[in-house]
Amino acid sequence: MTEEVVVDARGSFCPGPLMETIKTIRKVPSGTKIVVLSSDEGSTKDIPKWAEKAGHQVVEVSKEEDHWKIVIVKK
Amino acid sequence: MKKIVVVGGGVGGTVVANRLRKKLGKKEAEITLVDENGMHYYLPSTLFTFIGMDTPNKNVKPEEKLLHKGINLVVDKVSQIDADNRKVKLESGKELDYDYLVISAGATVDESLIPGFKEGAHHFHGYDAAVKLYEAVKNFKGGKVIIGIGGLPYRCPPSPYEATLMLYDYFKKKKKIKDFEIEFLSPLPRLFSIEPVSREVFEPKFEEKGIKWHEMVNVESIDPEKKMVQTLEGEEFKYDLLILTPPHRGAPIQYAQELTDDENWVLTDKNKLTVKDYDDVYAVGDITNIPTSKAGSVAEFEAEVASMRIYQDIKHGSADELYDGKTVCFVITDIGKATVVKFNFENPPGNFKITRFNWMLKKMYRGYYFRIMLKNPLGLNNLFTRLFL
């Protein structure tokens, strides 16, 4: 089963959510699903852009009630 | 009589202790400041030191000369803070009880977090490092310079950018080196974190000087033999001279309770400046986890708020002074020119004027800092800001 880690970066603004995501990616094993919650709309561009650059898979970018959800799988 | 203990004698700690000593009589409060070496460092001048425009000796003074009479200076290391029992334990074995505690022990750099850093990279975040870097810069004959940021957050966010622009001028105009190029590595999705400063100040200046930058680059390791930077994203950057801002962490103090995050930044209310659930513990300056710049001006303004709140609490039993995120920085764009960046939690910076006058103000600031700002003999907070900015 894929391990899942939630990065709750709500309330933090750029570059906070991206940096929290990177910090988490550094710690978790390959194949881990990272669910990032962010209230900063900029995260919906920055985080997928970085993930693609670093070769991780972006599996979901969606709007929840008052925040965005970005799901990445570490390569 | 209330006992006030201040941990750390940098900008924040010195301002808190001095403001409280002026506000409260000796029968009202006993104020003790603990500092690990008893010396006070004015850090902005490391930017001038690494290109030989300044020397450390003008920027270091004994802390006791900067404190008002009636403040006990204890030179010792703090081994543990126990907020439940209101105790500060020192390495000498001594214990200090308090009614109010202010944690202002600052940030520390940790080069060991990037493999190869110590052997392969230079930096200027401290005088020893800046002097060592000057030797490398002075002997540089040409080639590729990589400058970058090795971890967030770090002290003085504009400083790697200022260093880049100053180094270009130093090589081009002073050393007249013809064959060199500078590239900048930013972990951010743009050049600089604060968008208007990035777009209106740094990006045009980098373009003007032909400095290329790479975004979203997170340094993973350095190979000092191959002179290569390796990144988390799988890129490699070859260098002849590498200047990298090392990862920073909160000062290495042990806490009996969970008062910090996993990088030892103290969990601080961004407006009240109190620590977690403790109304009698404050944190100011670089050591907090407040999402603003780790800068001297922030430490100064936070220290004024924290000292006022402690004063209000002692005098009236409650405190209403709040920190609004006020930050003021001189930002160097060229050797000889600078702009001013001012903002708070609500209002982003703007209206950047790049002038020789701002450069002169930045150079003058040290004199004001040591002679007036820290001790504030006239009782006028933020005098420099009010007069010039």
> What is chain B's mean pLDDT, rounded?
96
pLDDT tens digits along B62-91: 999 999 999 999 999 999 999 999 999 999
pLDDT tens digits along B138-148: 999 999 999 99
Q: What pLDDT was estimated at residue B216?
A: 95
B222 close to B115: Cβ distance less than 8 angstroms: yes
Collapse the DSSP code of B72 into the 3-class scheme (helix H, G, I; strand E, B; otherwise coil) and give the result: strand
Annotated catalytic residue, options A5, A10, A14, A37: A14
Q: What pLDDT was estimated at residue A12?
A: 80
Q: How far apart are the C-alpha atoms of B338 and B330, rounded to whole Å?
A: 6
CA dihedral for B304, B306, B310, B315, sign (positive or negative): positive
- The pLDDT of B243-254, averaged and rounded, is 97
Q: What pLDDT was estimated at residue B31?
A: 98
Q: How close, in Å, is residue A7 to chain B by CA atoms?
A: 14
Answer whether B193 sits within 8 Å of A42, measured CB to CB: no
| Chain B residue with Cα closest to A55 | B233
**Residue in B185, B232, B292, B343 to test binding to A, most A beta-carbons within 10 Å:** B232
Q: Which of B103, B188, B198, B183 is nearest to B146 (CA)?
A: B183
Question: Is A14 marked active-site?
Answer: yes
**Single pTM value for the model:** 0.94
Q: What pLDDT was estimated at residue A1?
A: 61
Q: How close, in Å, is residue A15 to chain B by CA atoms?
A: 6
* A49, HSE (Cβ side, Cα atoms, 13 Å): 13
What number of other Cβ atoms are within 10 A of residue B373's Cβ?
A: 22
A50 contacts in B (CB within 8 Å)? 189, 216, 233
pLDDT tens digits along B267-290: 999 999 999 999 999 999 999 999
In percent, how much of chain A has pLDDT > 90? 81
Q: What pLDDT was estimated at residue A36?
A: 96
pLDDT tens digits along A15-67: 889 999 999 999 999 999 999 999 989 999 999 999 999 999 999 999 999 99
B265 contacts in A (CB within 8 Å)? none
Alpha-helical (H) ranges within B84-177 are 117-120, 127-138, 159-169
| Chain A residue with Cα closest to B186 | A15
Q: What pLDDT was estimated at residue B383?
A: 75
Q: Is the pLDDT of residue B387 over 80?
A: no
Q: What pLDDT was estimated at residue B388?
A: 72
A30 touches chain B (CB under 8 A): no
Answer whether A54 sits within 8 Å of B187, measured CB to CB: no
Question: Measured between CB atoms, which of B152, B189, B291 is closest to A46?
Answer: B189
pLDDT tens digits along B190-242: 999 998 999 999 999 999 999 999 999 999 999 999 999 999 999 999 999 99
